[in-house]
A and B are shown apart, each in its own frame.
Chain A
Amino acid sequence: MFRAALKSLLGRKVRLLMSTFAIVLSVAFVGGSLIFSDTLGRSFTALFASTVGDVVVRPADGADNLGASTVSMPADVVRTLEEKVPDAARVDGRIRAIGVYVVDKDNKVVGGQGPPAFGGSYSDAPAGHGLTGLTLVQGRPPEGPDEVVLDTKTAQRSGYFLGEKVHIVTAGDQALITPTLVGLMGFPDGGTLNGATYAGFDTARAQDLFLDGKDAFTQIWVTARDGVSQQQLRDEVAAALPADLEAVTGDDAAEEAATDLLDAISFLRTFLLIFAGVSVVVAAFLIVNTFSILVAQRSRELALLRALGASGRQVTRSVLVEALVVGMIGATLGVGLGVVLAMGIRALFANFGLDLTGQPLIFAPRTVLACYVVGVLVTMAAAWLPARRTARIAPVQALRDDIALPETSIHRRLLLGVLGVLLGVAMMFLGLFGSVPKGGYVLGAGTLAVLLGVTAVSPVISRPFLAAAQATYRRAFGSVGNLAGQNSLRNPRRTTATASALMIGLALGCLMAMIGSSAKASVDDAVKKNFKGDYVVSSVFGEPFSRSIATEMAKVPGVERIVRQRWAQGERDGDFFGFAGVDPRDTEFLGIRLVHGATADFADGTMLVDEDWAEHEHLSVGDTYTIDKTPKGPLRLRVVGIFEKNPVIFFPTVTTLDTLKDQGYPTSDNALILVTQHRLGIKNDLDAVVAKLPIVTVKDQAGFAAEQREPIDQIVAMIFALLGLAVVIAALGIVNTLALSVIERTREVGLLRAIGLGRGQLWWMITLESVVIAVLGALLGVLLGIGFGVAMLYKLRDQGLEVISVPWSQLGLFLVAAVLIGVLAAVLPARRAARLDVLRAIATD
């Protein structure tokens, strides 16, 4: 039996090639996602390991990884440690800042999106465990106020050579500086900054730029003597430190930093795996379909085996053995392609700023295992459905001319499908309106159930569509159209199963398009309703910028008022906590309307909370609210007012500018709102202030809305790029089904050719059939996508997506694309059919 299965497999190489290809693609997606996320994880872990010393000293409770901070330790701590810690080989004070952007010769910011732009003091201190971290690889260290070193990659990307003046934008008081490039830093042992940029100055200059000239450091690295462990050194250092400073081992600090970052980007991994899952589901459809057709075509052969004495179980098993072999081959090729795909994903993300091109790909054993499990299991499971039916082939059918494979009764299928849809809809409702934990997952599971249910009932619900298509075709394309329409109706299950693969891809695409379009509409709506003043000044990366910009702009004639906003990050109950700072005099202008409390009480050390957050945290006027971690430890604020939800204020809690400054946050601004006279050319004057600072832009209402929409477009584009693969698999499914149908109908095709059907007409016939399948899938997909979209947007309405917008033109484009997919998918099968030798085709049994 095993031999018979293998023989049969070899006899049908071409037919199986396509379904193997589907497995290859989906396995590749799984493999690629895993390889990429492992690489991502390793690259950051490696990066952080080389950016900490054996022991790191920092302010106690200071959130070291909160980004910008001006909290520092006086320089004499370094001397104290040098004297009191005998096991310290060396002690180095360091300064680290973010928001230090290198601007290239075309006045464009290098990097920026995503990975941070680091700046700081140059130091030759070794990283923990004697690792060579970022080290000078060319030139010399910076000396004096007019010299800088850059990392090699940033220098390359910006096009600066040693000896040239580098444009650097900082968030400090000196917004633009132009020091000379004197050295290049790199990782001699391999490694990259993952797209981050680094600019190093000598210590005095760094103190001047980032610490207002204080003789202090933000971090101290202590290097252990040979044979001294990190723990031992940490204990010694801790004993010598004042209470407001703490010492942590480099290993702990690196892990802390890497974990935080990986948490922050873990959604990427989830995201990729979701798409991998989608492509696996789509591929499973394709495999079920392929095996169904193959089994149907072989039913006489299988019946013969039964007639010769094989049991039903043996016949089933022979089909499963085929599936096993196909799955193994598919998984093996898929693993290989996965590596290629991981490179593709890496390139895709590099476009978005996360540059891992210097990192070797991580190929974990688990990845290989997952690929084989997915490839083999999915194939076996998908083949099991048609294989089960082979057992019911009666031996006598070997002797008959026309034989049909027994099929599950359409009634049972309909029943299961309807149940699936109902269950799915119920789950979606529960997820939307019910108070179940993890409503999002319930909603997602409901979505999947609806998809599978619709797939099950699609042969029934698609009948009117197929009949209408047939009638239309007959009218529009005559007999060729009639034949094509009839062919698509011939086996509605096969037609709809093929269409289902495309349906899933397009339903998700449509869902994403809807979310994207609604998000943009919501942004526009929010901007329109809440835009204050005449211009907004903000950083394109959402990063803070120098307060000197506001000062400069105030000098522009016609500017009447400048309102600053600052954003701060802290931690509360272990979670990220963001809050805003404004000048108390600006609350009225910003439209902050209190429902409780009084604006007059809003002073340093107090805060305002919006209604929702107050309710969520059970806060009322007079309460004290604590933010556990800020640059200077816990921050306790008294609640003096509760305000109506206000979209201008980015965060639900607001304190004063001075409170933030006193707490060690940098005195840079996040957004400025300008009220101006309507003077011709004022925009040009304002632009001139930030001309050399490409991270900061001046926008009117329309410009601001456009800028806010841009990241949404980028995300949607990225999702489409990933969904594209699912659509490719679905298109392959159509190719496969058509090719197999052509083989199945060899004799009929021969006959048509014999009675005078031209090759062109044959091509038309197959193309029209293909287009029916594609359009059916697209229509179902778009309809479902709209439904899912409305549900999902309803769920997201609290998160700022208040407008539900259906992107009709985009959906129309999907349908056009579906027609194109149909035409393209028909190319190979039609060519094959056209090339059939008429005589041999007729003679075929």
Chain B
Amino acid sequence: MSSGEVAARVVALTKTYGTGEARITALDEVSLDIAQGEFTAVMGPSGSGKSTLMHCCAALDRADSGSVFIGDQDLTRLKDKALTRLRRDQIGFVFQSYNLVPTLTAEENILLPLAIAGRKPDNDWYAGVIATVGLGDRLSHKPSELSGGQQQRVAVARALVSRPRIVFADEPTGNLDSRSGAEVLELLRSSVVDHAQTVVMVTHDPVAAAYTDRVVFLADGRIVDELRDPDRERVLEVMARMTAAADIAPSGSI
């Protein structure tokens, strides 16, 4: 499954918030390789740093130290203009709350990244994306006329359409019922399987994690565990272990 190439690499990434007593270490020298064509899940309890990690990888946030590579480009060295271009051409996003542009139709929303870049869609690819999204005749509808699941599928299609090197999904099923969530996850999964798309997804849902090739567990800003070809039970197992460890670790503090 893995082609062996690395799509994104994180080296000794550190990020802290606040100062003095209130200082929180969100990422503590995290190093991680994301393989090309793999579906990776990042899991961990609230405050474990998983969102921060994703935001830094996706060029939305800057770390204090360490490096982030997308392909062979070091993001930490890029200026805003180059970062904007990188987001536009090499990165796709799916957000928890869909974040579609309300004034545009579903189709216009999907094509927006290409339109912004002034590029024409690759017709075959576009047709394939549209087909997998399965919106059919609702493509000309505005987001407010679509269900949550449909909106999120549009958002996924938007992330895929520019054939980015890597797609980041931040709790993409967080706002959806289980059936709509499954559809969205299938969509992401099939992009990985059929088109060797690299996808990184932050989630705390073991069911969602089970769709991936690899799960990375974060706690207190560090990678504490990792699973290959996970299923729901093994994910739950690891999570239970982590919770137990967290209860014991700050010994006597409670």
- A482-B101 contact, Cβ under 8 Å, with A756-B88, A759-B80, A839-B55: no
Q: Is B102 an interface residue (CB 8 A)?
A: yes
Contacts of B118 in A (CB 8 A): 478
B170 to A, closest residue via Cβ: A842
| A123 in contact (CB, < 8 A) | no
What is the chain A residue whose CB lies nearest that of B142? A486
Q: How many angstroms from the CA of A482 to the CA of B116 in the assembled complex?
A: 11
Closest-CB distance, A759 to chain B (whole angstroms): 7
A754-B60, A754-B93, A756-B116 given; A483·B104 CB < 8 A? yes
- Given A489-B103, A747-B99, A759-B80: A479 and B112 interface contact (C-beta under 8 Å): yes
Q: Does B85 make an interface contact (CB < 8 A)?
A: yes
Contacts of B61 in A (CB 8 A): 839
Restricting to A400-414, which residues have a CB under 8 Å from any CB of B? Answer: 402
Interchain CB contact (< 8 A) of B93 among A402, A486, A489, A755: A755
Q: Are A748 and B102 touching (Cβ within 8 A)?
A: yes
Cα distance A483–B111 when bound, in Å? Answer: 12
In the complex, chain A residues whose CB is within 8 Å of the CB of B101? 483, 486, 748, 751-752
User: Which B residues are in CB contact (< 8 Å) with A489?
Assistant: 103
Q: Is B204 an interface residue (CB 8 A)?
A: no
Shortest beta-carbon distance from B57 to chain A in Å: 13
Residues of A within 8 A of B103 (CB): 483, 486-487, 489-490
A796 to B213, CA, bound (A): 85
> What is the interface of chain B mostly: helix, strand, loop, or mixed?
helix
Which of A482, A483, A751, A755 gathers the greatest number of chain B CB atoms within 10 Å?
A: A755
Interface residue A418 (Cβ < 8 Å from any Cβ of B): no
Is residue A757 within 8 Å, beta carbon to beta carbon, of the partner chain?
yes
Bound CA span A479–B120, Å: 12
Q: Is the CB of B113 within 8 A of A756?
A: yes
Q: CB-CB < 8 A to B80: which residues of A?
A: 759
> Is A839 a contact partner of B115 (Cβ separation < 8 A)?
no
Complex: A758 Cα to B55 Cα, angstroms: 18
A489 to B158, CA, bound (A): 23
The answer, yes or no, to whether A480 is at the interface (CB within 8 Å) is: yes
Q: B84, A756: Cβ atoms under 8 Å?
A: yes
* Contact residues of A between 470 and 528, Cβ < 8 Å to B: 478-480, 482-483, 486-487, 489-490
Q: Are A755 and B88 in contact (CB under 8 A)?
A: yes
Q: Mark B74-106, 1 if CB is under 8 A from A, else 0.
A: 000000110011011100110100010111100
From B102, B104, B116, B144, A755 is in contact (CB under 8 Å) with: B116
Once A752-B101, A756-B89 are accepted as A-B contacts, the answer to whether A479 and B84 lie under 8 Å apart by CB is no
Note all chain B residues with C-beta closer than 8 A to A482. Answer: 104, 108, 115
Are the C-beta atoms of B116 and A757 separated by less than 8 Å? Answer: yes
Partner of B117, one of A486, A753, A756, A842: A756
A757, closest chain B residue (CB): B116
Q: Are B113 and A839 in contact (CB under 8 A)?
A: no
| Proximity bits, A215-248, B CB within 8 Å = 1, else 0 | 0000000000000000000000000000000000
Residue of B nearest to A748 (CB): B101
**Most A-side CB within 10 Å, residue of B55, B87, B118:** B87
* Known contacts A483-B104, A839-B55; A478/B115 CB under 8 A: yes
State whether A479 touches B99 (Cβ < 8 A): no
- A240 → chain B, closest Cβ, in Å? 90
Q: Which of B81, B95, B158 gathers most chain A CB within 10 Å?
A: B95
Contacts between the two chains (Cβ within 8 Å), count? 72
| Any B CB within 8 A of the CB of A761 | yes
With known contacts A479-B116, A482-B108, A483-B104, A758–B99 Cβ distance under 8 A: no
Question: Smallest Cβ distance from A669 to chain B, in angstroms?
Answer: 72
CB of A325 within 8 A of chain B? Answer: no
A761 touches B102 (CB 8 A): no
Which residues of A sit under 8 angstroms from B60, Cβ to Cβ?
754, 838-839, 842
A490, B101: Cα distance in complex, Å: 11
Residue numbers in B under 8 Å from A478 (CB-CB): 115, 118
- B-side contacts of A483, CB under 8 Å: 101, 103-104
CB distance B84 to A757 under 8 Å? yes
Q: Nearest-CB distance from B16 to chain A (Å)?
A: 16
Is B87 touching A754 in the complex (CB atoms < 8 A)? yes
* Residues of B with C-beta under 8 A to A748: 99, 101-102
Contacts of A839 in B (CB 8 A): 55, 60-61
Return the chain B residue nearest A751 by Cβ: B99
Q: Taking the nearest CB of chain A, how far is it from the CB of B51, in angstroms?
A: 10
Interface residues of B in 43-92 (CB under 8 A from A): 55, 60-61, 80-81, 84-85, 87-89, 92
Chain B residues closer than 8 Å to A759, beta-carbon distance: 80-81, 84
Q: Please, how many angstroms separate the alpha-carbon atoms of A418 and B87 in the complex?
A: 50
State the Cβ distance, B203 to closest chain A Cβ, in Å: 18
| Minimum CB–CB distance for B110 against chain A, Å | 11
Provide the bound-state CA to CA distance between A754 and B87, in Å. Answer: 7
Q: Using an 8 Å CB-CB cutoff, how does the interface string of A19-33 with B read, 1 for contact, 0 for none?
A: 000000000000000
Residues A756 and B85 in contact, CB atoms below 8 Å apart: yes
How distant is the Cα of A761 from the Cα of B80 in the complex, in angstroms? 13
For the complex, give the distance between the alpha carbons of A747 and B80 in Å: 19
Q: Which residues of B contact A490 (CB under 8 A)?
A: 102-103
Contact A486 B99 (CB under 8 A): no
Closest Cβ–Cβ distance, residue B104 to chain A (whole Å):
6
Chain A window 733-757, contacts with chain B (Cβ cutoff 8 Å), 1 for yes, 0 for no: 0000000000000011001111111
Question: Which residues of chain A from 819 to 845 have a CB within 8 Å of any chain B CB?
Answer: 838-839, 842
8 Å CB interface, A579-616 against B: none
A167 to B158, CA, bound (A): 84
CA distance A487 to B112 in the complex (A): 15
What's the least CB distance linking B140 to chain A, in Å?
A: 14
Q: Mark B160-179, 1 if CB is under 8 A from A, else 0.
A: 00000000000000000000
Considering the chains assembled together, what is the distance between the CA atoms of A747 and B88 in angstroms? Answer: 17
Please report the C-alpha to C-alpha distance between residue A483 and residue B115 in the assembled complex, in whole angstroms: 11
Inter-chain contacts of A753 with B (CB < 8 A): 84, 87
A486 to chain B: closest residue by CB = B103
Contact of B99 among A480, A756, A757, A842 (CB under 8 A): A842
Please give me the residue from chain B that is nearest to A489 by CB atom.
B103
Residue among B61, B85, B115 with the highest chain A CB neighbour number at 10 A: B115
Q: Provide the bound-state CA to CA distance between A485 and B108, in Å.
A: 14
Chain A residues numbered 706-756 whose CB sits less than 8 Å from any CB in chain B: 747-748, 751-756
Distance to closest chain A CB from B124 (angstroms): 22
A486: chain B residues within 8 A (beta carbon): 101, 103-104
Tell whether, in the assembled complex, residue B115 and residue A755 are in contact, meaning their CB atoms are under 8 Å apart. Answer: no
Which A residues touch B93, using CB under 8 A? 754-755
Beta-carbon contact of A755 and B85 below 8 Å: no
Q: A758's contact among B84, B112, B144, by CB below 8 Å, is which?
A: B84
**Cα of A756 to Cα of B81 in the assembled complex, Å:** 10
Closest-CB distance, B164 to chain A (whole angstroms): 10
Most buried by B among A479, A480, A752: A479
- Say how far B115's CB is from chain A's closest CB, in angstroms: 3
* Bound Cα distance A752, B102 (Å): 12
> Which residues of A sit under 8 angstroms from B87, Cβ to Cβ?
753-756
Residues of B within 8 A of A757 (CB): 84, 88, 116
- Which of B85, B101, B111 counts the most chain A CB atoms within 10 A? B101
Chain A residues with Cβ under 8 A from B113's Cβ?
755-756
For this complex, 13 residue pairs linking A to B, each with C-beta atoms less than 8 Å apart, are A483-B103, A486-B103, A490-B102, A751-B99, A754-B60, A755-B92, A755-B116, A756-B89, A756-B113, A758-B85, A758-B116, A839-B55, A839-B60
What 15 new A-B contacts, CB under 8 Å, besides A480-B116, A755-B93, A757-B84? A478-B118, A479-B112, A482-B104, A482-B108, A483-B101, A487-B103, A747-B99, A748-B102, A751-B99, A752-B101, A756-B84, A756-B87, A756-B88, A758-B85, A759-B81
Q: Lowest 5 A-B CB distances belong to which pairs?
A: A756-B88, A479-B115, A486-B103, A751-B99, A756-B87
